[in-house]
Chain A
Amino acid sequence: MSIRSNAILEVDALERRFDVSAPWLNRMIERKPRRTLRAVDGVDFVIQRGQTLALVGESGCGKSTIAKLVTGLHPPSGGNIRFHGDRDRLQMIFQDPFASLNPRWRVGRIIAEPLRTLRPDTPMDQVSARVDELLRIVGLVATDGSKFPHEFSGGQRQRISIARALAGDPEFLVCDEPTSALDVSVQAQVLNLMKKLQKDMGLTYLFISHDLSVVRHMADVIAVMYLGRIVEIQPTADLFSNPLHPYTRLLLETIPDLEVPNRDRNPMGGEVPSPVSPPSGCSFHPRCPLAFERCKHERPQRRADVHNRRVACFAAGQS
C-alpha cells in the first residue's frame, strides 16, 4: 500500500452492463435472446491526490459511464470503486451548460444549493457571502447572482457550473467533457480557470474528453479507452512521446495537427464496432495493422511484465 498511500480513488475490475433487450413480448414472439451492452468492461485505474487523470476515447467507449459510476449516478454491475475521501466532497461538472442549470432558478440559488444541502445550518448571510466569493473565484461578479441562467453565454454558464461544484468545498471533481460544448476561445478561458483552481485548492480531477489536445494540456495521466476497456494508460508526456497501443498510435496519427497544416495522411480504416456485439479477443483486432492469430481469440490484459502494466496488447508485449 505504500505506493498507493496517496491515492484518492482506486477503481478495480469495474464493470457496468446495460440490458438492451427487446421487450419481453417481442423476445417471446421473435425468439430473440436477451442482449447486454457492456459499457464498462473490467476497468482499473488509480488517481493520486491533486492530480488529473483523463479518460479519452471515441463515442461509445464507456468514458461517460465511468463518470456516472464514480459519482454514484449508476451502480456498478461488478468490481469496486474505493474513494479515500469524503463522499460529500466529490462533485461533478457536466458537458452541457444549458441542460445542467435549472432555468427557473436564479444563479445565486443554483450555486448555494450544495451548501444548503450539505450544511443546512449555515446562516443565510454566510451563504450569500460564500456565493459572492464563489462568483468572484470563477471570474464573474457578485451581482450576477441575481440573474437567470439564460442571461449568460455558454462559457459563463460553465463558470456557474464550476462555482456550484466548488460550493460544497470539494476535493475531487468529475468533469465530463466540460468544454466540448464551447467555442475554442471560450474553452481556453474555462481550461485555464480549471487549472488555476486545481493549483490553488489542491483539487483532484477525473477529466473526461474526446479531445486529445485538451487532454494533453490538462492531464497528468491519460487512459485511452476502446469499447469499454482501457487499452493504454500512461503519464501524459510518455503517452505522446511513446504511444504503446496501436489504437493510440493511429489516433495520434489521425487527429489534425495545426503545426503541420495540409498533411496528407492515411486515415484509420474501419469503424468502432457495436458494444453490444464486440469482436472476440482484443476488440481492436479488426482495425489493427499489427493483429495476429492470438488477438482474435484471447483478450490481452495489462501485465506487469509488459511495459509495467501500461498497455493491453499482445503485439506491444513482443517488441
Chain B
Amino acid sequence: MNDIVLDVRNLRVEFPTRRGVLTAVDDISLQIRRGEILGVVGESGAGKSMTGMSILGLLEPPGRIAAGSIHLSGDRIDNLDDRAMQSVRGRRIGAIFQDPLTSLNPLFRIGDQLTETILLHTRLTKAQARERAMDLMREVGIPAVEERIDNYPHQFSGGMRQRIVIALALCAEPELIVADEPTTALDVSIQAQITALLKRLCRERGTAVMLVTHDMGVIAETADRVAVMYAGRLAEVGRVDDVVRRPQHPYTAGLMGSIPSLRKDVAELRMIPGSMPRLDAIPAGCAFNPRCTHSGPRCHQEIPRIGVEQSGAACWLQTQGDVA
C-alpha cells in the first residue's frame, strides 16, 4: 500500500458567507498511486477545482479546509503553514492550470523562468540548471530548444506554452501533478498532443497525476481511474472503462447519455432534467434526487456515500441493483 502518493480522506471545504456556511467540497476521499492518472470530472460548480486547489494549498480565503486530511506519500500536508506549503508546492507537487499565461511571467525569458525554478528546488549550478531546462524542454516536445530557450512567452503558441508550463511543473521532479483543465483552452488537435504528453510523462517518470476537467472525452482518453463529482460530493469512482461503459450512478449514466456519439445515430439526446443545485440550496439526502428518475424515499433523507478506498456509486439504488 506504500505506493499511494496522494491520500485524501473525508475532505470538506467550506466558505463562510453572510448568508451562512456553504460547503463546496463535502466529504471527498481519493487515492492516487504512483504512475496513475486519476480524472476528476464534473460540471461547473461540482467542486472539482476546489478539490484540486485544496490539495495545492491554494484555497482563496474565506474558503477553508473544515475537516478531513490530505497526505502526500505519507506526510500530512493540509495543516502546513504557508511557508512550508510553498516548498511542498513546486518541489513535491507540480501544478498546471487552464491558461498557460497565468503560470508564466510575460517579462522573463522562458529559459530564465525554468532555470530559476530548477535552482530553487535543486542544488545544481547555474550552467547545470540551464542544461536541465533544455532537457526538460526537449522532453515535453519543444523543437529547436537552443533557439527557443531565450524566447519570451508571447513568442510561443498556446500549445507550446502549455508544454512549457508542464516543463515548469516537472522542474523539481514532483511526486504529484495537479492539472486543472490543462487542455480546455486548446484546439482538439493540440489537446490530443498535450494529453499524449501527460500520459507519456506519467508512465515514464511514475508521477501521479490528478487531472481535473469537465470534458469526459479527455478523461476517457487519458485517465486510469475517474471520480465523478456532483454538488461537492463524489457521485461515482471507478476504472475509466467501467465508468464510461457501465455507469452505475444515475447522474453518470445521464451524463454519458447526454454526450452526442461519434458512432451511433440517436433522434434525441438523453437529457437530465433541471440543473445542478446551487451550493446554498443543496437538497436533503442525495443531492441528485430532484433530477433522478429512480429516487425513492430513502434518497430524500440519507446522503449516500462511497467509502474510503472503495469504488462504485454513491447511490441507494446500488444496493438494489436496478439502475438503468
* Residues of A near any B CB (own CB < 8 A): 58-59, 153, 155-156, 183-189, 191-192, 195, 210, 212-214, 216-217, 240, 250-252, 254-259, 261-269, 271-272
Instruction: Give, as a whole number of angstroms, the nearest-CB distance from A155 to chain B.
Output: 6
Can you report 11 residue pairs joining A to B where beta carbons are below 8 Å apart? A185-B254, A188-B258, A188-B260, A210-B188, A217-B261, A217-B266, A251-B189, A262-B220, A268-B192, A272-B187, A272-B189
* Residues of B near any A CB (own CB < 8 A): 43-44, 157, 159-160, 187-190, 192-193, 195-196, 199, 214-218, 220-224, 240-241, 244-245, 254-263, 266, 268-272, 275-276
Which of A213, A214, A217 gathers most chain B CB within 10 Å?
A217
Please, how many angstroms separate the alpha-carbon atoms of A256 and B221 in the complex? 6
Please, how many angstroms separate the alpha-carbon atoms of A308 and B268 in the complex? 32
Do B262 and A216 touch across chains, with their CB atoms under 8 A apart? Answer: yes
* One of A254, A258, A261 near B192 (C-beta < 8 A): A254
> Known contacts A58-B188, A254-B192, A256-B221: does B268 contact A216 (CB below 8 Å)?
no
Do B216 and A153 touch across chains, with their CB atoms under 8 A apart? Answer: no
Residue on A nearest B278 in the bound complex, by CB:
A153
Q: Which residues of A contact B270 (CB under 8 A)?
A: 188
Instruction: Give, as a whole number of angstroms, the nearest-CB distance from B230 to chain A.
Output: 10
Do A240 and B240 touch across chains, with their CB atoms under 8 A apart? Answer: no
Do A213 and B260 touch across chains, with their CB atoms under 8 A apart? Answer: yes
Do B214 and A257 touch across chains, with their CB atoms under 8 A apart? Answer: no
* One of A254, A259, A261, A264 near B188 (C-beta < 8 A): A254
Closest 7 CB pairs of A and B: A256-B217, A188-B258, A267-B192, A217-B260, A183-B43, A58-B187, A188-B269
Residue on B nearest A187 in the bound complex, by CB:
B258
Known pairs A192-B269, A254-B189 / 6 extra A-B pairs, C-beta < 8 Å = A192-B271, A251-B188, A258-B217, A264-B199, A267-B192, A269-B193
Do B188 and A191 touch across chains, with their CB atoms under 8 A apart? Answer: no
> Known contacts A256-B218, A261-B240: does B255 contact A184 (CB below 8 Å)?
yes
* One of B261, B266, B269 near A259 (C-beta < 8 A): B261
Do B44 and A191 touch across chains, with their CB atoms under 8 A apart? Answer: no
Residue on A nearest B214 in the bound complex, by CB:
A183
Residue on A nearest B244 in the bound complex, by CB:
A261
Residue on A nearest B264 in the bound complex, by CB:
A259
> Known contacts A58-B187, A251-B189: does B260 contact A214 (CB below 8 Å)?
yes
Task: Provide the main secondary structure of the chain B interface.
Answer: helix
Q: Which residues of A contact B245 (CB under 8 A)?
A: 261
Do B221 and A261 touch across chains, with their CB atoms under 8 A apart? Answer: yes
Do A185 and B244 touch across chains, with their CB atoms under 8 A apart? Answer: no
Do A267 and B220 touch across chains, with their CB atoms under 8 A apart? Answer: no
Do B275 and A58 touch across chains, with their CB atoms under 8 A apart? Answer: no
Do B259 and A258 touch across chains, with their CB atoms under 8 A apart? Answer: yes
Residue on A nearest B197 in the bound complex, by CB:
A267
> Known contacts A58-B187, A255-B188, A271-B159: does B275 contact A186 (CB below 8 Å)?
yes
Do A188 and B240 touch across chains, with their CB atoms under 8 A apart? Answer: no
Q: Which residues of B contact A254 (CB under 8 A)?
A: 188-189, 192
> Known contacts A184-B258, A184-B259: does B193 contact A267 (CB below 8 Å)?
yes
Instruction: Give, as a whole number of angstroms, the nearest-CB distance from A240 to chain B.
Output: 7
Please, how many angstroms separate the alpha-carbon atoms of A264 and B263 in the complex? 19
Q: Which residues of A contact B157 (CB under 8 A)?
A: 271
Residue on A nearest B275 in the bound complex, by CB:
A153
Please, how many angstroms separate the alpha-carbon atoms of A153 and B240 in the complex? 30
Do B261 and A185 touch across chains, with their CB atoms under 8 A apart? Answer: no
Do A263 and B259 touch across chains, with their CB atoms under 8 A apart? Answer: no
Please, how many angstroms separate the alpha-carbon atoms of A257 and B263 in the complex? 9
Please, how many angstroms separate the alpha-carbon atoms of A213 and B265 in the complex? 11
Please, how many angstroms separate the alpha-carbon atoms of A271 and B162 in the complex? 13
Do B217 and A255 touch across chains, with their CB atoms under 8 A apart? Answer: yes
Instruction: Give, as a whole number of angstroms, the nearest-CB distance from A188 to chain B.
Output: 3
Q: Which residues of B contact A269 (CB under 8 A)?
A: 193
Do A188 and B271 touch across chains, with their CB atoms under 8 A apart? Answer: yes
Please, how many angstroms separate the alpha-carbon atoms of A213 and B259 in the complex? 8
Q: Which residues of B contact A210 (CB under 8 A)?
A: 187-188
Please, how many angstroms separate the alpha-carbon atoms of A281 and B217 in the complex? 34
Instruction: Give, as a whole number of angstroms, the nearest-CB distance from A285 to chain B.
Output: 16
Instruction: Give, as a whole number of angstroms, the nearest-CB distance from B240 to chain A.
Output: 5
* One of A185, A214, A262 near B241 (C-beta < 8 A): A262
Residue on B nearest A195 in the bound complex, by CB:
B268
Do B240 and A213 touch across chains, with their CB atoms under 8 A apart? Answer: no
> Known contacts A58-B188, A185-B255: does B221 contact A213 (CB below 8 Å)?
no
Q: Which residues of A contact B257 (CB under 8 A)?
A: 188
Do A268 and B220 touch across chains, with their CB atoms under 8 A apart? Answer: no
Which of B159, B189, B214 gathers most chain A CB within 10 Å?
B189
Do B261 and A191 touch across chains, with their CB atoms under 8 A apart? Answer: no
> Known contacts A195-B268, A216-B262, A251-B189: does B220 contact A258 (CB below 8 Å)?
yes
Q: Which residues of B contact A59 (CB under 8 A)?
A: 187
